[in-house]
Structure 1
Amino acid sequence: MMAHKFLTGAVMALAFATGSALAADLPSLKAPPAYLPPPPPAWTGFHAGLNAGGAWNASTGTSFASAPFLINGAGNVPWAASAAITGTGSVSTNGAGFIGGGQLGYDVQFNGGFLAGIETDIQGVAGSNGAAAVVTLAPAPAPGLNLLTSVASGKSLDFLGTARGRLGYLVTPTLLAYATGGLAYGQATSTTSFFQHVPNDFSGFLLLGASQGRFSQTRVGWTAGGGLEWMFWPQWSAKIEYLFYDLGAAAYPVAITTDWQLTNLLFANATQARTRFDGHVVRVGLNYHFNWGAAPVVAKY
């Protein structure tokens, strides 16, 4: 009986071992882990967003200059010269305001941490008008007489747009430091009012210049700057940026000052204003990164 139990157990153990060995030789039906290629760079692709900040003038003055273009007789040269000198100077037009708008761009990440791209934006500018006035009272060539000159001027930028290249480096995988530069354009406006008179002039004489000149034009120039952009959430980034823009200088006619003795024109002076449209922009922005065109994830078996 004892020998029978031992023989039965030995047979069962041998069968179990043989079955396990055969099962180990069979092909496995479990699929190998899927092949996942590395994700595309988070910065490559289109982005769009909004921005807001402040803008202020770099050139903080509007100059005005008067010069004779007609003098009737040598005796009127001192009067023409005095009127021209007192009709020349500058007015402070140091304006600042709020700027806000949107941007659209495309970036390519390459060589690991480098990034190159393009970006275009357009912003409205509110409260940017800088205006001031100056009044002078100077002695005239004739004793006891004075030349009174009053000039008021202002300038503003109604909107500002740019089309720029960007070149940067990823300080960390989520923090980009970049430089940027390219084309700038905007609607620039400047107005200057001019008044010149001799309040206590002799009877029969009239020296008077009173008019306003205005310049308004869409100007094209350049811009350059830099910034930092932080990818704080997948496909979302925040940035802070500084830009300097220069839309060039503009000159425009303002007034004609004439001096009469009854019906006899003694001299005539022309006054012109000149200003430059340039400034600084500091703004923050929020971008959404679309990452269109990224390579799909493919599993291989």
Structure 2
Amino acid sequence: MKKILLVTVAAFGFAGAASAADLPARMPVKAPPVIAPVFSWTGCYVGGYVGGAWSSDDTVATDRNGVIVRPGSWGYSTDSSFIGGGTVGCNWQPVGSPFVLGLEGEVGYMHLTGTGIDPLSAGATTLYSNTKIGDWYGIVAGRLGYSFDRALIYVKGGVAFVDVENSIAQPGTGAYASASQTKATWTVGGGLEYALDMNWSVKAEYMYIGLDQTQTVTAPIAGGGFANWDHANSGIQTAKVGINYRFGGGAPLVARY
């Protein structure tokens, strides 16, 4: 009886093993993709900045006739200035590309002034020349940048608008004449911007404003007639630091396996 029982158990065990061997092998299961955000500079922003401005070279004044003084040219420098203002712009970064395209505008305060004594005048005809650049300026420029994730290096160029006033004065006589004009000129520069998070970023930037233009001051003279002085104002260099807030603060979701 025991022999019959052992044979039966062995037979069932063999049959079970054979059935297990006939089952298909389990296929490996692929892990689902991980959806992760990738930082992007795309979006519009507003910001503010502070910095400084200074003139590249002296203002050159040219006495164009000898009615009051002898004709000739001479120069004088302008002081440096604090600058500060606001910025608004938009960026676009194609998905998968490190390049960033943008358009940016800024409006700010600037006040560069300078005064010089005309060395060609003497005695009672001593003349003072004055230059004032400001009190405001504006820039509209395009940006082209290359990003290293949250760090962005960029170049920038466009048009600048600067208020310029030159004048001639003769103390003691009350003689005074000036010319004022908002001038449109070119500007170029670049900077570095770093994103602190999805919304906030900080930047450091240098811009050169090419104010290499001439403005003529025409002054009435005693006995009738006029005298002319040409003022060649030099370019302006600016350096600033700022902070921007980007609306939306989103980032495209990319599947990573």
Matched, 1:218 2:182: yes
Cα distance in 1 for residues equivalent to 2:105 and 2:120 = 50
Taking the TM superposition and a 5 Å limit, the aligned residue runs for 1:80-159 are 83=67, 85-86=69-70, 88-110=72-94, 111-125=96-110, 128-134=111-117, 136=119, 148-159=125-136
Choose from 125, 147, 154 the match for 1:178: 154
Cα distance in 2 for residues equivalent to 1:53 and 1:136 = 34
Cα distance in 1 for residues equivalent to 2:197 and 2:186 = 33
Cα distance in 1 for residues equivalent to 2:180 and 2:157 = 25
Structure 1 alignment gaps of length 5 or more:
1-31, 68-81, 140-145, 197-208, 260-266
Cα distance in 2 for residues equivalent to 1:236 and 1:39 = 17
- Choose 1 or 2 for highest CA Rg: 1
SS for the counterpart of 2:40 is coil
Give the direction of change, closer, same or farther, for the CA distance of 1:293–1:193 in structure 2 (3 Å limit).
same
1:296 CA drift (Å): 7.0
Number of equivalenced pairs: 255
CA contact (8 A) 1:104 1:119 kept: yes
Taking the TM superposition and a 5 Å limit, the aligned residue runs for 1:1-301 are 36-67=34-65, 83=67, 85-86=69-70, 88-110=72-94, 111-125=96-110, 128-134=111-117, 136=119, 148-170=125-147, 172-194=148-170, 211-247=175-211, 249-258=213-222, 270-276=227-233, 278-291=235-248
Tell me the TM-score normalized by structure 1: 0.65
Structure 2 alignment gaps of length 5 or more:
1-29
Cα distance in 1 for residues equivalent to 2:33 and 2:51 = 46
1:277 CA drift (Å): 5.8
SS for the counterpart of 1:43 is coil
Task: List per-residue Cα deviations over 1:231-265 (Å, max 9, x = no partner).
Answer: 23332211100000124524233323346xxxxxx
CA contact (8 A) 1:107 1:115 kept: yes
Q: Which amino acid aligns with 2:113?
A: G
Give the direction of change, closer, same or farther, for the CA distance of 1:137–1:218 in structure 2 (3 Å limit).
closer
Tell me the TM-score normalized by structure 2: 0.75
1:93 CA drift (Å): 3.8
The sequence identity of aligned pairs, in percent, is 27
Give the direction of change, closer, same or farther, for the CA distance of 1:235–1:243 in structure 2 (3 Å limit).
same
Q: Which amino acid aligns with 2:164?
A: A
CA contact (8 A) 1:137 1:148 kept: no
CA contact (8 A) 2:75 2:116 kept: yes
Q: Which amino acid aligns with 1:129?
A: L
Cα distance in 2 for residues equivalent to 1:257 and 1:162 = 39
Give the direction of change, closer, same or farther, for the CA distance of 1:167–1:137 in structure 2 (3 Å limit).
closer
Q: Which amino acid aligns with 1:52?
A: V
Give the direction of change, closer, same or farther, for the CA distance of 1:96–1:229 in structure 2 (3 Å limit).
same
Cα distance in 2 for residues equivalent to 1:120 and 1:278 = 20
Q: Which amino acid aligns with 2:151?
A: L
Cα distance in 2 for residues equivalent to 1:66 and 1:160 = 30
